[in-house]
Amino acid sequence: MQGVKIAQIPDLEIDPITLDIIEGALKNARHEMDAVLFRTAMSPVIREQHDEFPMITDPLGRMVVGQFGSYISEMMAAYPDTIEPGDVILTNDPYKCGGAISHVNDWLILVPIFFQDELVGWASMFGHMMDMGGPLPGSLPTGAKTIHGEAMMIPPVKIFRRGEPVDDVIAMILNNVRMPEMNRADMMGIVAGCRTAEKRVIEICDRFGKDTYLAACQALLDRTLTAMRKLILQNIPEEPQSFEDWVDDDGLGHGPYKMKLTIWREGDHAYFDWSGTDPQAVGPINFYLNEGMFKMFIGVYLIMVFDPQILFNDGFYPLLHVIIPDGSLLHPKYPAALGCRTHALTRLFDVLGGALARKSPEHTTAAGYGTSPYMLYSGFDREGDFFYLMEISYGGIPGRPIGDGMDGHSWWPLFENIPTEYLESYYPVRIDGYTTIRDSGGAGLHRGGNGIEKRYVYLEPGEVSIHDDRWLTYPWGILGGTPGRRSEKLLKRADGTEQRLPSKCDEVAVSPGDMLVYRTAGGGGWKDPLERPIEKVEADVAKGLVSTQKAADEYGVIVGDGEATVARREALRTARGTARDFDTGPDIEDILARCEEETGLPAPVRQKPLAWAKMETPEEAMRRVREQDARTS
């Protein structure tokens, strides 16, 4: 990054009222970025589902408000061009930004914020583009073996220079996508969102002065650092604790893939070590996990579970240390395919929760549906026009210390579903049903959320792709809670035949009248279901969330009969004995042995390690991180 005068953060004390005003203004600016994008974008994935992530940073690239954590300092360290007012930088290459974005569908925009010729911060936002070119509509082929088999990669490049669009670069990019008008609208919406943040930061500097603004940013970061230090001391054990879970398969018949995390603390610093995680996959389930991004995930989890009032920003990053062996599933070597990385991304939270629960299970959650279920449908309608629909579905949120898991909810709290009216108005599809799956949530004192069943009836010939997981392993329960139900996909043909589909597949031909029954996984239950109040179980039965059979078998509740319930619960408690801390369902080897019989699909087989992607040893990874920490301190 050449020729940039970076504003220095002053050693200035800010009074609490001014700090609160600036904090509120920045929070509002962050949400205004969203509002501008949603009013501008054309794709349902951004406009309706809100698959985008904004942030505003200080001059050093540290996120002060936002969602996804800092990546700018690392990215700009190798940027060869100048940075000037009015510039806008675009990239979608995960390997060129250290994993700040994790697959090529995410377009990342950076806008430098200048005040009186000094860089005072950055506005940044990325959003999921429905198509990026490549061999298949949607640019998420489940059969890709390298990232070059997925779609076009854009290195960090200016699309605006000093406020003027770089038309030839924009034209070249849009020439390589299937829906250039939609991509252009979404891209310009992201730019407009970042420009909005830029304007608001300049207004704050005008009102309070540059030094006051920068000192306030530092104070907000420091406040989060102090709060997180307390959370670490309260919730991270000094003795190392490990937990492991599995990504079921890679879409090419290999699997399952182990994800293992060990956590501990040294004083008020916490360590998170992914040694023991399997080597990178042949298929596209690899997750190129930026260490800063994982620190953000840790912060989100700790803050949301233990103290949601804490402002989420990068202030706590110096307290966290992340070890991810190079060449593993979570830090693959280039050019590993990354398109289906959401399975590892979401399973990460299950593993993190399990590791935290080893010493304090009453303070953490069970496992959730553990993925981002995608349905992609494309083809040409009777007028010969190309259509392409992509929808992200949801599943069961796990039972939690504070209450039941939510039914059919997104892992990402700000995501929303695409309204049925929107789908049926703009695409050749009819939604035959969109319902909760009774009994799919694990039983518990706090019930695991149910998965959802969505039934798509296709009205035009086309092709369907599916991305999902948790069809093999179970979303585990905790403290006596039982596992959630697994996912499944069934294609009912118009001619009356049925076909069970794998959780990851491409180019499934469909004809008018064919129906896809898409069922997602439920969440695990939290704590002993025999302790759940009888009236809550009966209410769940009345609402259609739990069957009378499950009420009797797992909750010990005979609906409408109090005496029978007391006897039933006592019998179940005696037969069961002590409740298990974790209930993951059958052992993984047993699951594999019975896979085809239970799921109708062949069991995945273990992958041979890739010779060209030799994984870093745990010792090498730890030494690298310790040396990096020493340089930073």
**DSSP-assigned states of every residue in 112-123:** EEEETTEEEEEE
Element housing 126 (H / E): strand 118-128
- Give the pTM: 0.93
The CA-CA-CA angle for residues 334, 507, 492, to 5°, reads 135
- At a CB cut-off of 8 Å and minimum separation 6, what does 600 contact? 500
| DSSP-assigned states of every residue in 551-601 | HHHTS---TT-HHHHHHHHHHHHHHH-SPPSEE--S-HHHHHHTHHHHHSS
Each residue's pLDDT tens digit, 303-329: 877 777 888 899 999 999 999 999 999
Residue whose token pair is 């050693």: 11
For residue 577, pLDDT over 90 is answered with no
pLDDT over threshold 70, residue 1: no
3-state secondary structure string, 291-320? HHHHHHHHHHHHHHHHCCCCCCCHHHHHHE
Give the rounded percent of residues in the chain with a pLDDT score beyond 90. 85
Strands 269-273 and 320-323: parallel
Calculate the average pLDDT of the chain: 94
Residues 6+ apart with CB under 8 A from 446: 399, 400, 401, 402, 403, 404, 405, 481, 525, 526, 527, 532
Q: Which pair of structure tokens corresponds to residue 587? A: 């052992």
Peptide linkage before 401 cis (omega within 30 of 0): no
Q: How far is CA 250 from CA 285, 343, 604, in A?
A: 6, 10, 9
pLDDT exceeds cutoff 80 at 633: no
For position 437, what pLDDT does the model report? 98
Stated as kind and residue range, the H or E segment containing 54 is: strand 52-57
- What single DSSP character describes residue 479? T
Separation in Å, CA 380 to CA 184, 427, 430, 464: 22, 11, 16, 13
Estimate to the nearest angstrom the gap between the alpha carbon of 134 and the chain centroid: 23
Give me the residue label for tokens 């408690």: 573
Look at the block and give the residue holding tokens 């001619």. 495
Asked if 364 contacts 401 with a C-beta cutoff of 8 angstroms, the reply is yes
Mean pLDDT of 519-524: 98
Kindly list the distances between the CA atom of residue 621 and the CA atoms of 1, 163, 182, 331, 544, in Å, as whole numbers in the listed order.
29, 43, 42, 11, 50
**pLDDT tens digits, one per residue of 444-469:** 999 999 999 999 999 999 999 999 99
The 10s digit of each residue's pLDDT in 22-81 is 999 999 999 999 999 999 999 999 999 999 999 999 999 999 999 876 678 777 877 888
Work out the average pLDDT over 405-422. 90
